[in-house]
Amino acid sequence: MQRYFLANHDFEDERVVIKGDDAHHIIRVMRMVAGDEVICCNEKDESALCTIEDVSSGDVVLNVTKWLDERKELPVSVTIANGLPKGDKLELIIQKGTELGAAKFIPFIAGRSIVKWDEKKGKKKLERWQKIAKEAAEQSHRTKCPVVTEPLTVQKLIEEAKNYDRIIVAYEEEAKAGESANLYKSLSSLTKGQSVLVVIGPEGGLTEKEVQLLKENGSVICGFGPRILRTETASMYVLAAVSYQTELME
Amino acid sequence: MQRYFLANHDFEDERVVIKGDDAHHIIRVMRMVAGDEVICCNEKDESALCTIEDVSSGDVVLNVTKWLDERKELPVSVTIANGLPKGDKLELIIQKGTELGAAKFIPFIAGRSIVKWDEKKGKKKLERWQKIAKEAAEQSHRTKCPVVTEPLTVQKLIEEAKNYDRIIVAYEEEAKAGESANLYKSLSSLTKGQSVLVVIGPEGGLTEKEVQLLKENGSVICGFGPRILRTETASMYVLAAVSYQTELME
C-alpha cells in the first residue's frame, strides 16, 4: 500500500491533511478518490492506515482508520557518515542504507574525497538524495524517512559525533591487520534507543590523521571482516550487522 | 598489489606461468617487467607473492617468493541463488556479493522473473558476469574467484540444492509476519567448511509454490529483518550476516 511521510502538524487527532507534492501524487499520479486507503507516517515513527475522505480542494483530507504497530525501525538509531565518494555512489549508499534501516546520512568532505562540493549544484544534489531516501523508505515499508544532510567538514563531523552514544569507524587497515572483535563488542553492548554514528572513508579510505582525530574523540576503530570492501559496501555491511545483532539475535 | 586468479596447472612447484589475457594485462596494461611482484591465487584458495622472472615470450614466468596466509574467505561456503532480476541488477548482486565473500552465484528463472533468458545473448552476459566477479575478487583481496553459472530452472535449482548442507530461503512474507529467529538459528549452528545455499526471489518475490517446493526439500524459510529489501539487497544482507556471525563473533 502507498505510504506517505508527513509532518506532525499534518495530523490533527484522527484527521490528516496532505498538501503539496504528496497530494499531487495521490490525486494525479495514483488517481485515488474518496474511500481509497494509504498509510501515513508522522515524525514520531508512528504510522496509521488512513481512508481518503475528500480530494476536491486539491489537498487530500483523510481519516485515521487504525493506528498500526509496524515495528519496522532498527532498535538503535544508526547514522551513516560517508566520505564524499565519486560519481553517483552516494545514491546507492542512500538507497541501500535506507532499505537496511539507517536513520540519517551525513556525507563529509574527507581528506581523500576527490569530488569537490559545489554549494550551487549541491542544493539540487541534496534534494535528489533526499528523494532517493524517501522512495526507498516507502518501498521498504519503513515508518521513518531518513534525513540526508549537507556535506560536513571533518571538523564539523567531529563536533557532530559528540551527540552520539557510540562512534564506529570502518578502517580497512584494521581489517588487513586481522582486527575482528571490535564491531561485535560494540554492537552487542548497544541498548534500545541508543544512537550510533558509523564513519566510513571515501575511495582510498580515511587518512591516518582522520582516524587519529576520531580515536581521540572516543571512536571504536573496527574491521568489517577480512575482505576489502568498497566505500559503498561498508555501510551495507554494518547496517546488516546491526539488524542481525539487534533484530534477529535478541 | 595486483592479484591474478590462475588454474592449479599454472603452478608447478615454486614456478608459475601466466598466459592469455592475464599475461597481456601484466605486460601491456600494467607494463610490468622482471623483478616486479604480483599475487597469484590457485584454485585451492591459496595465494603466493610471486616475482616476475621473464616476460620476453609473451607469457609471464614467475617464481614464488612466499606463500601467503591471507584467510580472506568466509569459513563457510555461501552460494547465492538469485531469481533472474530486471536490467543489470545481477551485476550489482555479483559485484557486492563477491566483495562480501560469496563462493558462487546461481541465477535462476523464477516464476516471477520478467527477463527472458536468451541462450545466444546469454553467453555474452555470462562472460560479463564472470568478469565482474573476477574484478571484484581482485579488488577485495580475495583468494577465491566466485563462479557464476548459467541460469537454472527452478527444478534444476532444487536438484542442485541437494549438494548443500543448508538451504536458506529469503521470504518477505515471513519478514512481514515478524519471523525473526530462523536466520540466526541457522547461521549460528554452521560449522567451518559447511556449504550454504541462499535462495532469493526476483522482484515480486518467490511464488508460494516455489517456497512450498523449497520447504519440501529441506529449506529454512527466513525473514531478513522487518524491512522489505529489494531483491539485490537481500544477498548483501545475508552475506554480511554470515560474515558477522562466523568471522567477527566467533
User: Domain check: are A41 and A131 in the same one?
Assistant: no
Interface test with B, best of A1, A173, A243, A250 (most B CBs within 10 A): A243
Q: Does ipTM come in above 0.90?
A: yes
Long-range contacts of A56-60 (CB under 8 A, 24+ apart): A58/A23, A58/A27, A59/A17, A59/A18, A59/A19, A59/A23, A60/A17, A60/A18, A60/A19, A60/A22, A60/A23, A60/A26, A60/A27, A60/A32
> For B174-183, how does the pLDDT look when each residue is reduced to its tens digit (9 = 90+)?
777 778 899 9
Give the nearest partner residue to B226 out of A225, A236, A247, using CB atoms: A247
User: Domain check: are B138 and B181 in the same one?
Assistant: yes
Rounded to the nearest 10 degrees, the angle between the axes of helix A154-161 and helix A208-216 is 30
Return the CATH number at A159.
3.40.1280.10
List residues of B whose CB lies inside 8 A of any A CB. Answer: 70-72, 96, 99-101, 139-142, 178, 180-181, 183-184, 224-230, 233, 236-238, 240-241, 243-245, 247-249
Number of domains in chain A: 2
CA distances from B110 to A140, A214, B115, B116 (A): 22, 47, 10, 10
Return the CATH number at A51.
2.40.240.20
- Tell me, what's the pLDDT at B227? 94
- Identify the H or E element spanning A229: none
- Tell me, what's the pLDDT at B173? 83
Q: For residue B33, what are the domain limits? A: 3-68
Inspect the interface and report whether the beta carbons of A244 and B183 lie closer than 8 Å.
yes
Taken in order A3, A7, A10, A15, is the CA torsion positive or negative? Answer: positive
Taken in order A109, A112, A117, A123, is the CA torsion positive or negative? Answer: negative
Q: Which residue of B has its CA nearest to A175?
A: B72
Phi/psi for A205 (5° steps) reads 80, 180
Give the nearest partner residue to A226 out of B71, B96, B181, using CB atoms: B71
- Tell me, what's the pLDDT at A177? 78
- Identify the H or E element spanning A29: none
User: Domain check: are A38 and A113 in the same one?
Assistant: no
Residue A139 C-alpha cell reads as 518501498
- Tell me, what's the pLDDT at A175? 72
The type of residue at B107 is: P
Q: Minimal CA–CA distance to A198: which of A144, A54, A206, B152?
A: A206
Please report residues of A whose CB lies closer than 8 A to that of B245: 244
User: Domain check: are B231 and B110 in the same one?
Assistant: yes
User: Domain check: are A86 and A15 in the same one?
Assistant: no
- pLDDT grade for B172, boundaries at 50, 70 and 90: confident
User: Domain check: are A60 and A175 in the same one?
Assistant: no
Any residues with CB less than 8 A from the CB of A85 and at least 6 apart, and which? A93, A113, A115, A202, A203, A231, A232
Please report residues of B whose CB lies closer than 8 A to that of A224: 243
- Which single residue is written with the C-alpha cell 536458506? B168
> For B192-240, how does the pLDDT look when each residue is reduced to its tens digit (9 = 90+)?
999 999 999 999 999 999 999 999 999 999 999 999 999 999 999 999 9
Give the nearest partner residue to A225 out of B225, B236, B248, using CB atoms: B248
Give the nearest partner residue to A99 out of B227, B245, B249, using CB atoms: B227
- Tell me, what's the pLDDT at B180? 85
- Identify the H or E element spanning A15: strand A15-18
A226: distance to nearest CA of chain B, Å? 5
> For B4-20, how does the pLDDT look when each residue is reduced to its tens digit (9 = 90+)?
999 999 999 899 999 99
Q: Which residue of A has its CA nearest to B239?
A: A237
Give the nearest partner residue to B184 out of A225, A233, A249, using CB atoms: A249
Taking the C-alpha atoms of residue A74 and residue B73, their distance in angstroms, rounded to an integer, is: 29
Helices marked H in chain A = 20-24, 89-99, 119-139, 154-161, 172-176, 182-188, 208-216, 231-243
User: Domain check: are A26 and A117 in the same one?
Assistant: no
Residue where one domain finishes, among candidates B19, B50, B68: B68
Mean pLDDT throughout B62-87?
96
Decide if B133 contacts B98 (C-beta within 8 A).
yes
- The residue ranges of chain A whose pLDDT is under 70 are none
> For B102-128, how does the pLDDT look when each residue is reduced to its tens digit (9 = 90+)?
999 999 999 999 988 888 889 999 999
List residues of A whose CB lies inside 8 A of any B CB. Answer: 70-72, 96, 99-101, 139-142, 176, 178, 180-181, 183-184, 224-230, 233, 236-238, 240-241, 243-245, 247-249
Mean predicted lDDT score pLDDT of chain B: 95
Residue B218 C-alpha cell reads as 529441506
Residue where one domain finishes, among candidates B68, B94, B120: B68
Residue where one domain finishes, among candidates B41, B68, B95: B68
User: Domain check: are B162 and B238 in the same one?
Assistant: yes
User: Domain check: are B84 and B58 in the same one?
Assistant: no
Looking at the DSSP bridge assignments, the partners of residue B37 are: B51
Is B250 a residue whose pLDDT tops 90?
no
User: Domain check: are B24 and B132 in the same one?
Assistant: no
SS3 state of residue A49:
strand
User: Domain check: are A63 and A187 in the same one?
Assistant: no
User: Domain check: are A174 and A83 in the same one?
Assistant: yes
- The DSSP output letter for B219 is P
- The DSSP output letter for B245 is I
Is B160 a residue whose pLDDT tops 90?
yes
A119: distance to nearest CA of chain B, Å? 31
